[in-house]
Structure 1
Amino acid sequence: MVFSEAFEGDETIFQAPPIPPGILTVTDYEAFARERMGENAWAYISTGTADELTLRANREAFDRLRLEGRVLAEMSGAHTRLSLFGDEYEHPFLLAPVAFHRLVHPDGELATAFGASAIRAGMVVSTQASVTLEQVARQATSPLWFQLYMQHDRAFTAVLARRAEEAGYRALVVTVDAPVTLRNREQRAGFRLPAGIEAANLRGLTPPPPPRAEPHESEVFRGLLAGAATWKDIAWLRTVTRLPIVLKGIMSPADAARAVAEGLDGLIVSNHGGRALDTAPASIEALPRVAEAVAGRIPVLMDGGIRRGSDALKALALGAKAVLIGRPYIYGLAVGGPVGIAHVVKILRTELEIAMTLTGCPTLDAIDRSIIWERSQTG
């Protein structure tokens, strides 16, 4: 894929520095990204929660899975197309919601949307985006979903949902797994948003009052959880939007089964990229149990730790309809702007197609658990 060094979108002309020579894999971007992002942004984007055990587990779990190669399969007409909520996608890679893209690129989410559209990748726009959801919608030509954090002001939350609907977003992704967080590496780095960067979609929201706990009382239970969402709030959200509602952060089969019973439209198996509950299992470890509980009644997606196209193949084999990537495309954005994002997705798609060929799967529908080499087969 070749782009010029500057290309014009609806809102701006994006400057695209050349991709450094030698970048052949998604992980090759990481060292270059750290250098260009600086330590403040790096501390925010790369960190996990607490001791970062789950952050590491997301990768290690993929590495433990083995694939069974298949030969002489008929691959004529092979493709990676799929359908989600009435939209057609050319491949199963979506960009996960990540806050404050302007931390790593001056055009922020506008550059991301342009790169995603160039490679025809769906994009989930964060509530905490550094440009407004309407600006992103004007820039994008690929389908957009809006990631919604429930705000303490439910009326403001309803306005956010309606804004997304009016701007043409195709689904609401409600993140439910991080009502409180503990990110020690970010704390040690003293992370602060630079001047001029804000959660643009939250302008006009009155901040919640600070916790007023006495020294012997809990700030978590008496303040930080104020306004945290419950199942009742998810039911309420259904009354204020016509968009499909997807819950992000589901790791428990019990929660998955309840989501189906409550009429949710989709789930994303996710441990928040290792940024929520430490010592939780890797997303790929939780995926089969969640998929079994859902039993095909609604789409199940997954994020967390995907760095190779073969990782996506493993996720699809274990029950995911599609996968989301987070840090990899942010690193691509930091290094190469929209070109970096398109390049990251292109690498992953090509690797997926190679892995599909070598496991005898001409389409995504042909991928199933039989291509995972089970331990019992090794004797």
Structure 2
Amino acid sequence: MSASTRSSASPALSEKLRREAISVPALRAMARRTLPRPVFDFSDGGAEDEHTLRRNEAAFARYAFLPRPINGAPVRDQSVKLFGMDLSMPVMIGPTGLAGLFWPGAEKLAVRAANNAGTAYCASHGSVCTLEDIAAAGGPNRMMQVFVYRDRGFTRELAERAAAAGFKALVLTVDNQLHGRRDRDLRNGFTIPPRFDVSGLLAMATKLPWLMRMGPELPTLTFGNYRRENGPSDIRTLAARMHDMFDPAMNWSDVDELRRIWKGPLILKGVLHPQEAAEAVAHGVDGVIVSNHGGRQLDHAVSSLEALPGIVRAVDGRIPVLLDGGIRRGGDVVKAIALGASACLIARPYLWALAVGGEAGVAHVLELFRDEIDRTMGLLGVTELSQLNSDLLMRLDAIGQTA
């Protein structure tokens, strides 16, 4: 069965999404029931004791809305223009490696769903298919993730391939040069691809729909962007090679070199310190993504939302500031924009949706965000994103107390 065939949701699946997947938390619960535990925890877990993972979500609850409904908001417009892309909503799909573990042909289905929703998709360096395959499947609003590798020639190669494939922006991720320790994966014995030992088989046997979908795909799963002609293509060999490719000696001269190579918008992802954001502007970067890698790298790092106001002040309107991490509701997106973000990226919510419904699931989760953003804007008395600001928020130290 081809990926394109799998992408079409059956009427029963579409009805199940409408009936049960009423929110991102509901999608998470459905994904937990759908996926083998090691695969679910791979998407759900964070670094070490997961303090930052929890902090990312909890930070949004520290802000309460101060609505002004008498302003009137009969029609709301949540469109935004970023990096030469016209987007119908301020939510984009962020880069997530190994999405192909959740549904066959995952990246191609997700970029298509994003395109149909009028928003952008950022391809992961660790996608199962190649960036060229993703470009062929999706519309114009595509970004490509890259890293600084020990072999700087490979960094250049990915940038040049992205340019040739028509990607609009390059997203340089800077917080993954050393791999975080993810205790859930270690406890589960998670491997890429999942192991077929006794415990692995038992975990998969209890999730028959996932196993029937993914079983034929697992033996040939690979990292498409890292395959070399006449080189190894099995995912274990490539995963081991990738682990040693990232260069912790990366510095601003590497950003300068990438800025010279890449002529389109260059975005820095993984920025938490205001000074680093200011330096990014000085080095010609076109945008920053406030991110702690979804709490999967440095535990006890500040949450993305907590870091956002300082980053916004540091860049002082010179470049767009985006945010990812902990976004589970449209109201979270509205809060981030009110604090100065131009848009947000989602990762886990789209993976959970993918696991539950493939392309239809991704389309569904984007519509959930669109509807929640629209409703929140209307209840706040706001008609367009530019009207969102900190005057519509009250920060709480504790429930019922202002900061």
TM-score strictly above 0.5 = yes
Deviations 1:113-141 (A, max 9, x none): 12212212210000000011111111112
Q: CA deviation at 1:359?
A: 1.2
- 2:79 corresponds, among 71, 78, 81, to 81
Tell me which residue corresponds to 1:22. Answer: 20
Task: Give 2:103's aligned residue.
Answer: 105
- Displacement over 4 Å in runs of 4+: 205-208, 223-228, 375-379
Residue 149 of structure 1 corresponds to 147
Q: Does 1:372 align with 2:393?
A: yes
Which of 132, 135, 139 is 1:134 aligned to?
A: 132
Amino acid corresponding to residue 155 of structure 2 in structure 1: T
Q: Alignment partner of 2:20: what SS? A: coil
| Aligned residue type for 1:198 | T
Amino acid at match of 2:101: L
Instruction: Indicate conservation of the 8 Å contact 2:127/2:225, yes or no.
Output: yes
Cα offset for 1:229?
2.0
Measure the CA separation in 2 of the matches of 1:42 and 1:13: 21
Compute the displacement of 1:347 (Å): 0.6
Which residue identity is paired with 1:88?
A: D
Q: Deviations over 1:168-190 (max 9, x none)?
A: 10000011012111111111211
Aligned residue in 2 for 1:273: 294
CA-to-aligned-CA distance 1:289-339 (integer Å, 9 cap, x gap): 111101110000000001111000000011100000110011001101111
> Displacement, 1:87?
1.6
Q: Secondary structure at the match of 2:288?
A: strand
Paired residues of 2:328 and 2:349 also in contact (CA < 8 A): yes
Q: Is the 8 A contact 2:147 2:246 kept in 1?
A: no
* 1:261 maps onto 2:282 in alignment: yes
Shift of 1:16: 2.2
* Cα separation, partners in 2 of 1:330 and 1:228, compared to 1, 3 Å: farther
What is the rounded CA distance, in whole Å, between the counterparts of 2:25 and 2:42 in structure 1?
18
1:175 to 173, 176, 195: 173
SS at match of 1:66: strand
- 1:350 corresponds to: 371
Deviations 1:52-106 (A, max 9, x none): 0000001111112111011222325531111111221111000010001110001
Question: Which of residues 286, 291, 305 in structure 1 aligns to 2:312?
Answer: 291
User: For 2:65, what is the secondary structure of its paired residue?
Assistant: coil
* CA distance in structure 1 between the partners assigned to 2:91 and 2:77 by the alignment: 14
For residue 373 of structure 1, give the secondary structure of its aligned residue in structure 2: strand
Aligned partners of 1:271 and 1:282 also within 8 Å: yes
In structure 1, the partner of 2:215 is none
SS at match of 1:247: strand
Code of the aligned partner of 1:246: I
Cα distance in 2 between the residues matched to 1:168 and 1:357 = 36
1:336 counterpart letter in structure 2: G
Q: Tell me if the contact between 1:50 and 1:183 (Cα under 8 Å) persists in the aligned partners.
A: yes
Tell me which amino acid in the other structure corresponds to 2:187: R
Aligned to 2:39: 41
Change (3 A) 1:30 1:77: closer
* Residues 48 and 378 of structure 1, relative CA distance in 2, 3 Å threshold: closer
Residues in 1 aligned to 2:392 and 2:352: alpha-carbon distance in whole angstroms: 31
Q: What residue number does 2:184 align with? A: 185
Aligned partners of 1:58 and 1:328: how far apart in 2? 14
Q: Does 1:95 align with 2:93?
A: yes
SS at match of 2:353: helix
Structure 1 residues 144 and 346: alpha-carbon distance in aligned structure 2, compared to 1, 3 A threshold: same
CA distance in 2: counterparts of 1:354 and 1:378, whole angstroms: 26
What is the CA-CA distance between 1:348 and the residue it aligns to? 0.9
Question: Which has the larger displacement, 321-330 or 237-246?
Answer: 237-246
The answer on whether the counterparts of 1:120 and 1:142 sit within 8 Å (CA) in structure 2 is no
Q: Does 1:313 align with 2:334?
A: yes
TM-score (norm 2): 0.84
1:270-299 C-alpha deviation (Å, 9 max, x unpaired): 010000111111110100011110111000
Amino acid at match of 1:193: I
Asked if structure 2 preserves the Cα contact closer than 8 Å seen for 1:116 and 1:142, the reply is no
Q: CA RMSD of the aligned region, Å? A: 2.4
For residue 333 of structure 1, what is the amino acid of its counterpart? L
Q: Which amino acid aligns with 1:188?
A: R
Structure 1 residue 153 displacement after superposition: 1.3
Following superposition, the deviation at residue 226 of structure 1 comes to: 4.4
Match of 1:164 in 2: 162
Paired amino acid for 2:333: A
- Report if the CA contact (8 A) 1:153-1:227 is conserved: no
Distance in structure 2 (CA, Å) of the matches to 1:39 and 1:196: 21
